[in-house]
Structure 1
């Protein structure tokens, strides 16, 4: 039976803004308070989805969350009508209003961790929504994320859903941004690679000194248990604390993997040789041939990797066995990174081609191509069981671009977030979107 890796890209929400909310994310903080363009952001993301679909890759879409999150503001003590809640938050605690308006759910690499049926004990695809408890504006996402994934992958015969881990620091979980799967074929058993920044209970593991390590070893281990993964099918690796302190807040900012290949920076991990040997041995038992591409610090510094988001890219397998790397425009704008990529693709190695996409609106807030997609490996039967409304087609692309043009503003500043009309605009747009994507009632305003 044929299997696929389906990329479900996050659709950028109508409140896309540069709030500078993510400490440790250099791009997010450096562009704080600039005016954003939600319409352009959404159209840029949709253009990438359409392009990959036209290249022959399976492509889906994951809807944004309801923002501003009035219910979250009510839990923090703001009362009255919805308009009054927003007005009072803007007057008394603007940072909380900004956080409640964040469109960060666009980066669906953080939505969940996904294990395909070939790896799990019960033969189902498992999803665990990420608690994202390191940042308040992201910690409020997982209830809607769980409903959304449940509406997309509803057939319990094929799909299993787990609630987010306890929302405490010891179980900080950032989802697929710190998870990669290696396999010979998407439908065959593989090795799931969990990368953590610190251990909550074991002091033998060093921790970064400047920025927080968002993923814990204990969270990764809990997800592996929930998904019914075997010890032979899991490898845990620690992210280098020094690169976290240089702005590498997730592993997908310094490494990306697909199929049998890991593309990573020389400084990405601790005990790299031991980790590579374990990946090679365990993938070998699954019939695979693990291969790695190390980018030397002498050619690309960590600073250049963070500025360009070289590794926050999509590594895609083509029918002829070669690989395609999807990178943001910022890679072409960095001379050292672009020179490295030219030498990489001309060497006749595993990565044969690089395609560049303009994702400036997302990039300025700290998210590149890899942040914008959640990878789900599915066989033909499972793919047929997915809600068909979320699978990208040319008609769906056309409908969504028209929907964006109709509902999205082309400029948004912090002051605009205090406008109660924005809430009405967003709810109207999202109510229409759930009908387009055939999701049913997934948003709080549709349920309550």
Structure 2
């Protein structure tokens, strides 16, 4: 029996709960779905229930599932820092009148996409034998730049035991160290408890980069320097890391994060041929450093166009391992609705020479309309049995927690939210009441600004 088996390593997917202010404000430049659905009416209750249903179905299928809470929204503190004063009602009313885009930003429920919460290195790879966390600074967009402080408190509250977990500072929130978290990071290995190689994907190089190799239409959100800094924080060596540039044409097509064009799990890397600027060099580097043979699953542009890849979010899917080494691919319903993508899934994946033997289709349409598929909704954390025991709070999903969270959503969430509704002070009161109750359900203590005073 291998050491990884005796230590009981399992990957836990920590999904972000869709927040009560889930709305379509079209805030994310370069995110085609977000921009195209801006101004539509959202259904926060449906969004949260869709996310919970996905979590529950994966739990029932035998996968370990965790839960992360949403952020406090609206962020009145951010509005006050920008010069809006008075009562909450006065702050919201004035912001809606004078700076509606700022109001929409401070009400964003984007923290549901916990793939951007931070970067994680499991203990089996870290020199000190602890699991390491670095919250992403998300400095490339204002509405996400507001998240890291609370994200850090949440992660520290859950992964609290210093004997098992190490927490690092957010990188400097400057363009040179623009960091979008695990959405641009993939760990490849024989199994979750075996040493792995960390693939960091960046869009541009801040110092000494060639502008000719950068996107022209949309911004590159991850820098090489940020990826290198996170690797250093976590103690990863050169032999454990590969740094690859995302294809600039993919970014300009709407692939704002690498997890929109590639997904890895175990030894498998499922990717579109336009994922990397230098595809062959990326594969060669992985093959050289991995202790187990890489299994690349390449989807050519002839099978799935860039437009189809972005609209279906085929690559923003979850790839999950079973104990026998086989894998399940969890795709959004939009994949089934796209003939070319669905044919590729059947012909190239299920009939191919790779461990992917099952495809599960999940409805996460409320999230998809804002540009986030199944992979965006979860932060992957490989944990030993002892580390799972050391978790604080009640964050590992089971039937009882699922039922309680479902009832919580049904009680607190609206089923209709238009951008103009964000100025409603009653919405702010409803949200604070809901979040206060949620921290009690999850038993994570005081993590929100309004709870800290």
Range class of TM-score, shorter chain: over 0.9
- The C-alpha deviation readout for 1:328-375, integer Å capped at 9, x for no partner, is 000000010001111121346321111000000000000000000000
2:414 match: 409
SS class of match (1:193): strand
Match of 2:44 in 1: 38
2:381 to 360, 372, 376: 376
Corresponding residue for residue 317 of structure 2: 313
Could you tell me how far 1:42 is from its partner in structure 2?
A: 0.1
CA contact (8 A) 2:393 2:444 kept: no
Secondary structure of residue in 1 paired with 2:394: helix
> Of residues 206, 211, 215 in structure 1, which corresponds to 2:218?
211
Q: Show the counterpart of 2:301.
A: 297
Residues 408-448 of structure 1: per-residue CA shift (max 9 Å, x gap): 00000011101000000000000000000001000000001
Alignment match of 2:328 (pick from 313, 324, 331): 324
Q: Distance in 1 between matches of 2:402 and 2:295?
A: 36
Q: Tell me, in whole angstroms, the C-alpha distance in 2 between the residues paired with 1:187 and 1:320.
A: 14
Q: Give the superposition deviation at 1:189.
A: 1.4
Establish whether residue 55 from structure 1 lines up as the match of residue 61 from structure 2: yes
Q: Deviations over 1:37-59 (max 9, x none)?
A: 00000000000000111111110
Counterparts of 1:8-407 in structure 2 under 5 Å? 8-204=14-210, 206-284=213-291, 288-343=292-347, 344-347=349-352, 349-407=354-412
- Unaligned runs of at least 5 residues, structure 2: 1-6
Deviation at 1:388, TM superposition (A): 4.4
- Name the count of aligned residue pairs: 445
- What secondary structure sits across from 1:401 in the alignment? helix
Q: TM-score if structure 2 supplies the norm length?
A: 0.97
Q: TM-score scaled to structure 1, two decimals?
A: 0.98
- Residues in 1 aligned to 2:394 and 2:8: alpha-carbon distance in whole angstroms: 22
Task: Give distance in 1, aligned partners of 2:419 and 2:54.
Answer: 27
Over residues 244-275 of structure 1, what are the superposed CA-to-partner deviations in whole Å (9 max), with x where a residue is unaligned? 00000000000000001100001110111111
Q: Give the aligned partner of residue 4 of structure 2.
A: none
Question: For the residues of structure 2 that align with 1:67 and 1:393, how far apart are their CA atoms?
Answer: 27
Q: Over aligned residues, Cα RMSD in angstroms?
A: 0.9
Shift of 1:276: 0.6
Structure 1 segments of 4 or more deviating over 6 A? none
User: How far did residue 90 of structure 1 move?
Assistant: 0.9
Secondary structure of 2:290's aligned partner: helix
Q: Matched residues in 2 for 1:359 and 1:185: separation? A: 28
Alpha-carbon distance between aligned partners in 2 of 1:27 and 1:127, rounded to the nearest angstrom: 29
